Chains A and B, each alone.
Chain A
């Protein structure tokens, strides 16, 4: 598998996700993710594009709003249109919604504060390139770290997401039960991550790269990277 990690000047999880990807790629026989600078309007052909977490251009405007108009994103949108899988984590998810690759918007957390902690999310579908190593319904423990992760779409939009099976992850209890107490940011229907219609683009607020290594206290994020490498190699 060949992977590109897009680097905006304010990306700060680019190294973390590169490390996590590299670990899975090495297990599968090698390769190294390519780092692509935000000013590039072209980059080599890859099997996976990752938009990492951070504060792309400072996010003093709406999170991801400026990044959606960067030179590199025009190319990311074009490739996504051709079916190249795109994974957006945290700020990457915000950019994907701003760029129109995913529906809805990420508003300020309901509690109005930045939140960094482990949460649980339930895998809503294992039938995708991103989630094939998980079981549908499986609860995962994965950290969040954001100020603007409160997913919003109108009722019709939410219904459409449900109907097409586009909801990837929902915030849940450790045992997988959905309730308000498990929702850390006020997201509609406990949504933590969504797919596009073709399930080739995934945006998610939790950071799988942060719990993909046992010394850090958990490995629930690891199967996502292993699964991507396996499916795309």
Chain B
């Protein structure tokens, strides 16, 4: 095909000159080196924990903490399991009801503080929020005295109750922020459909709350599971100790069985790890749902 007239020269916009390949590679390498450094930093304690847990009692000593086991053995794990089993069960009995109850209360609170408000809701919320900033340590002695004075059942129920009450501010806060993203119109539509407060909560708000429930449940599960201070302070009977206290007590007063302690620590933290792996996706999603929408 021939053209009768040449097209006018189109000025080619000057391309942004690319950075030389070598420099890009250097920058990328630096990034990776830095990242790998931090990964190592984070994983070092875990490495020491892991290798020690597979050593024999004699071999597990700080002097050769870095070395891999000469003879791999599950003895420490077996022993930790048999020693900790009752306490693990205690923790399960503690964590499940405490998580469920504090999450449900948080959800109800969040609902009446954001979407079915009552006069003075903001003041009540302020007080609840204040609870977030009271350090554990400050309330422990009065708390123990209160329990004693009330003749409150000892052991796990007492500890669970403390965790439920102590968890209410954070669970309320999470649910209140989440419910703020549910359109007001939806609640009003339910009101016009002649639903009362509980009905609106049950039929409209609750079915939309799954992300907030996941976030709050994970949060409560891990913090109650990992708690040591309340447990050691409020539970005096060793049979009722949750696993965190029992792990602490694997440290004998005369001989330090590092392999046992390390395997016990790992054993005690496995469930929270599993929860994160299973529900972590929802956790992030739930956190974002509150912040991005609305």
On whether the two chains bind one another, the answer is no
